[in-house]
Amino acid sequence: MKILTALCCGVLLAGGAHAAPSIKGDPKTGKALHDETCVSCHARMFGGDGSGIYTRADRKVQNAQQLAARVSACNANTGTGWFPEDEAHVAAYLNQQYYKFK
């Protein structure tokens, strides 16, 4: 029984170490991809660095699933040809920086 308990706690702790368990990506890689590909269009619409699109009061994205879906849709629209891992990196970056979904 002791062994079981240790196993369970180990899994819980490992899960808690990630800031956003539902979004598995590397925010640093994501930032580079994002800044290269995604900013210009949003900046034209919102001014500045374009981040207003993520922080506006009536923003569209309300949870991690929607964030992943939106990144995927914008990726498809712009024809960047990113792999799913790249989308995950960017979603992780946007989540860490702006959305902060758990």
Binding site for ligand HEC (CB under 6 A): 34, 37-38, 41-42, 53-54, 59-61, 67, 70-71, 74-75, 78, 80, 90, 94
Closest contact distance (angstroms) between CB of 21 and ligand HEC is: 19
**Distance (Å, rounded) from C-alpha 51 to C-alpha 54?**
5
Complex with ligand HEC: residue 2 or 44, whichever CB lies closer = 44
Count CB neighbours of 60 within 10 A. Answer: 10
Q: Are 31 and 93 contacting, i.e. CB atoms less than 8 angstroms apart?
A: yes
Find the shortest distance in angstroms from Cβ 54 to ligand HEC.
5
Q: State which residue, 9 or 100, has the beta carbon closest to ligand HEC.
A: 100
Q: How many Å apart are CA 73 and CA 48, to the nearest integer?
A: 23
Give me the residue label for tokens 């914008």: 74
* Cβ proximity to ligand HEC, 31 vs 70, nearer residue: 70
